[in-house]
Amino acid sequence: MTAIEVDRLSHIYAGAEGGVPALEDISMTVEAGKFVVIVGPSGCGKTSLLMMLAGLRHQSTGTILCDGRPITDPDPSRVGVVFQEASLFPWLTALDNTEFPLALRGTPRDERRRRAEDMLNLVGLQGFGARFPHELSGGMKQRVSIARGLVQDPPVLLMDEPFAALDEQTRMTMGHELLRIWSKTRKTVVFITHSLTEAVYLADEVLVMSARPGRIVDRIAIDLPRPRTYEMMATDTFGKLRERIWQQIRKPEGTLS
Amino acid sequence: MTQTQIIAARLALLAAILAAWALLPKYGVLDPRLLPPLGDVLAMLGKQLARSQVQEAIGVTALEVVVAFVIAVPIGAAIGVAAAEFEYFGQIFKPMLFYVFSVPKSIFLPMFILIFGIGFPQKVAYAAFSTVFIVIMSATAAVESVKADHVLVARSCGATKAQILWRIYVPSMMPVLLETLRISMIFNFTGVMIAEMYASRTGIGHLIANWGENFQMPELFAGVIMLSVVAICFNEAVRLLEVRVSKWRT
């Protein structure tokens, strides 16, 4: 079953000297339950692409289907989004932050409490519901963000460099945690990152994008067994996959010089 | 230092000041004609509060303060929000607002007297005028304190425009808004006092100016205490509320 289908999507930014092509002819299919990671240099438009998948920004041409229906506006029942750091509302507790999408829809208080608590348990934060974001560590804040993204039980979870602001160790732990949550919930995940190691460690498939205009230049199936372990990072296969992505990313610079 | 020790030290400081005020003029260390002892001032305060002329003056001043505040805050807030939310409006008007903000407002008082004559409208208009600019500045800062990321998150959760306003803008802005309320009241109160002291036939400011001119120091200090207590109470009440809603800001 196909969860996400992007068909010939292009985007042009209005600039001073006519339009600036930001995304060019993006087509991709994500099967339900897959973990897809998008990597690419800064300015390749990967965040723009994610915003469009979330219905938060409109593409110039092309279509996005999610569950067979087009995405034109945010639809949290189909797509949950986890942003970079500092996206929790600092005036709400962890529990209230997690409930937020349900509160918007007017879900009864008891039900939304229960579901938010379930989600906090799922991400390993039982007992932290009453804490405010400034009382949580960076990793814990991102756990709350994930809980908030999952609370409406959408089939698709989009993640925009969710661990970029964390230190290396926390980042590894969070990657591992994310895989645990993913294997429990069986969501379709589209994950954006700068880190090649993170990409190979997490993904079923890595899409490599080039910059200016943003294009998908390679699709790499990561056939490492699951569950993934930290030891796999030291293997030859892991290194080769990482190397192949790196070659694709640095290519445009090579052609310039 | 623990919190209790700090509070004890604060109370000790207050007691020391009051004791000095009570004792130094009494024993001739300070000239009691310039600084009457605290006891005399408090006795005078009681006497003055019982006078109908003073009660009337308090009523007039209070009404001026409230009316000026009710005029200045919504107008200032509307202009400030517009300057922050509508880019072109802000770009065009902001520099001018900043220029006028930096000018001392008291120099415009004679103009207000020429336009409105001496009386209630002149004092209210002048106080509102001297308050509105600080409200504009603070309201702009309040809107700008709303993080674009938070709005984006809310949209991704399916929030409508009204929900974004109520659930993101209002809580984000609340601490700054209360601060605005507090600071603009200081400007507003000052505006009314200046207007009353400069040219007026009634009001506490007018009485204080008179007492000063006639060298009635106990009366003058009684007036000072009266106004200080009211101003401090308002300020602290709003500040308490501010602390309560800004807990998350640390």
Q: Using the predicted structure, report yes or no on whether residue B207 has a pLDDT greater than 90.
A: yes
Helix, strand or coil for residue B220?
A: helix
Taken in order of first residue, the domains within chain A and their CATH numbers are 29-58+68-78+156-256 (3.40.50.300), 89-153 (no CATH)
State the pLDDT at residue A86: 63
Contact A13, A19 (CB under 8 A): yes
- B149 with A87: Cβ contact below 8 A: yes
B195: tokens are 């207007």
Q: Look at residue A42 in the predicted model and tell me its pLDDT.
A: 83
Mean pLDDT over A162-171 rounds to 91
Instruction: Output the pLDDT for position B98.
Output: 84
Quick: pLDDT tens for B146-172.
Answer: 999 999 999 999 999 999 999 999 999
Separation in Å, CA of B64 to nearest CA in chain A = 36
Chain A interface, Cβ < 8 Å to B: 54, 56, 74-77, 81, 83, 86-87, 89-92, 100-101, 103-105, 132-134, 148
pLDDT in tens, B54-96: 999 999 999 999 999 999 999 999 999 888 888 888 889 888 8
> Smallest Cβ distance to B156: which of A54, A105, A132?
A54
The complex's ipTM works out to: 0.89
Specify the CATH architecture of the domain B36-249.
Orthogonal Bundle (1.10)
Tell me the one-letter amino acid at B122: Q
How does pLDDT run across A67-111, given as a tens digit for each residue? 889 999 999 899 999 998 768 999 999 999 999 999 999 999 999
Distance (Å, whole) CA B44 – CA B23: 17
A253, pLDDT greater than 60: no
Instruction: Map out the domains of chain B as residue ranges.
Output: 1-33, 36-249
> Do the chains contact at B250 and A100, CB–CB below 8 Å?
no
Q: Give mean pLDDT, residues B110-128.
A: 93
**Between residues A21 and B217, which one has the greater pLDDT?**
B217
For residue A89, list chain B residues with Cβ-Cβ distance below 8 A: 150, 153, 168, 171
Q: Which residues contact B136 (CB under 8 A, 6 or more apart)?
A: B76, B77, B79, B80, B83, B97, B101
Average pLDDT over all residues of chain A: 90
B32 or A18, which is more confident: B32
Residue A254 confidence (pLDDT):
46
pLDDT in the model for residue B250? 57
Q: What are phi and psi of B230, to 5 degrees?
A: -60, -45
pLDDT band of residue B101 (cuts 50, 70, 90) is confident
The answer to whether B155 contacts A56, with C-beta atoms less than 8 Å apart, is yes
Residue with more model confidence, A63 or A15: A63
Mean pLDDT of chain B: 91
pLDDT higher than 90, residue A211: no
Verify whether the Cβ–Cβ distance B158 to A76 is below 8 Å.
yes
Percent of chain A with pLDDT over 70: 97
| Rounded average pLDDT over B176-202 | 91
